[in-house]
Structure 1
Amino acid sequence: MMGVLNHLSTLLLLSLLPPALSHVVDKFSDVPRCQKFFLEGTTPNLPGILVGGKVQDQNRYKPICQLFNNIYRFATLYDTTNRIPVFSAYTFTGNTSGRPSQSWMIEPQLEDINNQRDMKVDNKAVTHNFQAADADYDKNKMKMDRGHLFPCSHVPDDETMRSTFTLTNAVPQDSSFNRGRWCKMECNVRKYIVENCKNNNKIEAYVVTGAVPNITNKLNNRVNIPDIMWTAYCCKNNLGQWVAGAHWGENKKINTIQPVKRKYPGQTSNTGMHDMLNKSGDDGGGVQVIPDQTSNSLVGLYDKLNKRYGDGVQLFPDQCPKGDIPRALLLKVGGDEQDHCEYDDCVCSSVGVKGYYLPVVFVSVLVMMM
């Protein structure tokens, strides 16, 4: 009898616990283990979409606590009308290498598939109503990749890497943009965080990456092709200072050398850099100099997003600094070596300065802890 009572008591206690196994939720705060992907549990503020942690249109925008093999890996706010994520948020705690043998997955709860909470491999024969399908990308003639928001090069282990291969974490991304300067930016952000974002000798940074939808442009007449990709990070650096940075770029093929708006001592011109890198490269040319808009401060990104969403955009709490500081005060990203992207392997490999991959110029900001 006592055993039966204990069993009933356990069931009662479990029924009173918060929905820790929820996946598609009303609010990210519904799942405490999902809040850890946001600095101080504070979700981004995007007017008309997500304000004060509350989704403004719950029929359209779905918070997803990304669950893979019964562990929460990251968080995504998904737009079921455009069939792309608004953003994915994750905590960077280190990185691994290699690329898993992982098929692309979908979120079953968006389609109410047997109320399955975990990700599932997509059936390419099926078209989904509220999310992109693998079939949308297959054999598309627009040269669009399945572009990760939470990149597989930013993960601490193999299981988390596999979890990033969900189409709720991907947008149609121009292949030259995804495999080129955006990939290079991801590698350099990774290198910066690994070397500078250490608290008590532990790597930790909060990252939010998103996409601004296009008005009319669609893949397979279903999936919105975003105009702009953006990412932002915030952490305490090795000196106990808060540091933040933001990067963005237009999601399109770049086949011309764009002018650099800012020059720093020792930085060559675009033409000179282009010639130098082409001469040192092995491919006989074709080097692209990374445009300046892929690297800016939080305030620059906020201004950009405010024009799309309305005033009031904020991605992190106030301790994450928003403005520029003199370049001389910025922490270094390595020595003479820079990272380039091995797109097929989800890894970043170091090459010397004579290589033909140009690093993103960081414009980060920091404040002293009082």
Structure 2
Amino acid sequence: MNLHSSWPRAMRVATAAMALALGAAPSFARNPSSTFLDSLPGLRSTPPTGFVHCPQFFVGGKPPPVPRRAQQRELCYEAFAVLHSGQTRTPVYVAQRLNRQVLEGANEKRSDKFFADARLPRGERAELDDYKRSGYSRGHMAPAADMDTPTAMAQSFSLANMVPQDPRQNGGPWARIEQDTRRYAQRARGDVYVITGPVFAAGGPTIGANQVHVPTHLFKLVYDATTQRAWAHWQANRPDERAGPPISYQELVKRTGVEFLPALAAAH
């Protein structure tokens, strides 16, 4: 499996800058990568610690090597890990490790008690009021239906695990993608790693007093550690979106400019 992007990052950034200069909307089908990496402002911060307290959510214990920005923080929860951006007030990505045993126990009652994670400074996080009357739902990146303990269920309602999501997209095609992912993991012979995240357009809309960024697209990467197969779902965050066929891992890398499975890339 070719795990490397075929489009140099400098070319992607230059193309996006030209499109914005000409007043053209960026083409997500051909060049969405700059929206994932380059719309997150701020200086580079210190090198990542590599999620030392929860490496189990990443293949080979290696998280994706995204460019480090100011106000990025690694958050470990019982059932998932979040790289959080204080610039967008959303996750950069959320990582999970699913398997049959986990999902057989995932029958907890939804808590529906959303909360702002106190580990994040107030100036870096979304608050409950940001979503009120915004027209967007609080869209889980690590789904509540994947949680197999009361603690994991409660933690999944952290706003650090949320993005502003179109309600129809969230409750329709995206919910089906989440369900299909669970069904696959329940049939798999071993661990299935899932990385979910938002994609933003430079200068895109925000909600609330804290200016929580609204993603244009969402992605969900699925990797079966037993078969070593990887694929991704790519969804526009809009009410008329439909659940289409998944894209290849290579295509996700091309669209985002990120090697989400660095342990596998290093092995090839």
Note if 1:36 corresponds to 2:56. Answer: yes
In 1, Cα distance between equivalents of 2:79 and 2:172: 26
The aligned counterpart of 1:282 is none
Structure of higher CA gyration radius: 1
| Residue in structure 1 matching 2:181, options 189, 196, 205 | 189
Could you say which residue in structure 2 is the equivalent of 1:336? none
Classify the secondary structure of the residue corresponding to 1:147.
Answer: strand
User: In structure 2, do the counterparts of structure 1 residues 101 and 134 end up closer, same or farther at CA, with 3 Å as the change threshold?
Assistant: same
Alignment correspondent of 1:361: none
Match of 1:77 in 2: 83
Higher relative contact order (CA 8 A, sep 6+): 2
- 2:237 alignment partner AA: N
Query: What is the CA–CA distance in structure 2 between the aligned matches of 1:182 and 1:100, rounded to whole Å?
Result: 18
Write the distance in 1 (CA, Å) between the matches of 2:259 and 2:51: 21
- List runs of 5+ in structure 1 lacking aligned partners: 1-24, 50-55, 67-71, 112-127, 256-288, 307-312, 321-370
1:246 to 224, 228, 232: 232
Specify whether residues 298 and 30 from structure 1 end up closer, same or farther in structure 2 by C-alpha distance, changes over 3 A only: closer
Q: Which residue of 1 aligns with 2:130?
A: 136
Q: What is the deviation of 1:158? A: 2.9
Residue equivalent to 1:161? 153
SS at match of 1:234: strand
Partners of 1:74 and 1:26 in 2: CA distance: 21
In structure 1, what is the Cα distance between the partners aligned to 2:254 and 2:128? 34
> Secondary structure of the equivalent of 2:50?
helix
- Return the alpha-carbon distance in structure 2 between the equivalents of residues 80 and 304 of structure 1: 23
Q: Aligned pair 1:227/2:204, yes or no?
A: no
The amino acid that maps onto 2:215 is: P
- Aligned partner of 1:114 in structure 2 is none
Equivalence for 2:111: 101
1:162-181 aligned within 5 A = 162-181=154-173
Amino acid at match of 2:126: A
Closer/same/farther in 2, CA of residues 82 and 74 from structure 1, 3 Å limit: same
Residue 136 of structure 1: SS of its match in structure 2?
helix
CA distance in 1, matches of 2:58, 2:51: 13
Tell me the CA shift for residue 223 of structure 1: 0.7
1:271-323: CA deviation from partner (whole Å, max 9, x where unpaired) = xxxxxxxxxxxxxxxxxx5334xx111111111112xxxxxx20114548xxx
Q: How far 1:101 sits from its partner (Å)?
A: 2.7
What CA distance in whole angstroms lies between the structure 2 residues aligned with 1:318 and 1:81? 28
Partner residue in 2 for 1:214: 201
Using structure 1 for the length normalisation, give the TM-score.
0.54
Which one of 245, 250, 254 corresponds to residue 299 of structure 1? 250
Deviations 1:10-67, CA, capped at 9 Å, x for gaps:
xxxxxxxxxxxxxxx9734363x41111111111122xx2xxxxxx22x32111123x
Q: What does the per-residue CA deviation read over 1:86-114, in whole Å, with 9 as the maximum and x for residues that have no partner?
A: 00111113221253234112221322xxx
Alpha-carbon distance between aligned partners in 2 of 1:291 and 1:299, rounded to the nearest angstrom: 17
Contact 1:76 1:88 in 2 (8 A): yes
For residues 185-223 of structure 1, the C-alpha deviation after alignment (integer angstroms, 9 at most, x for no partner) is 110111111112x23xxxx21111111123221112511
Give the distance between the partners of 1:172 and 1:223, measured in 2 at CA. Answer: 8
One-letter code aligned to 1:193: A
CA displacement, residues 213-234 of structure 1 (integer Å, 9 cap, x when unaligned): 2322111251100011001121
Conserved? CA contact 1:28–1:35, under 8 Å: no
Structure 2 residue runs of 5 or longer lacking an equivalent are 1-45
- The number of residue pairs the alignment matches comes to 214
Looking at structure 1, the residues matched to 193 and 72 of structure 2 have their Cα atoms a distance apart, in angstroms, of 22
1:81 is matched by which residue type in structure 2? Q
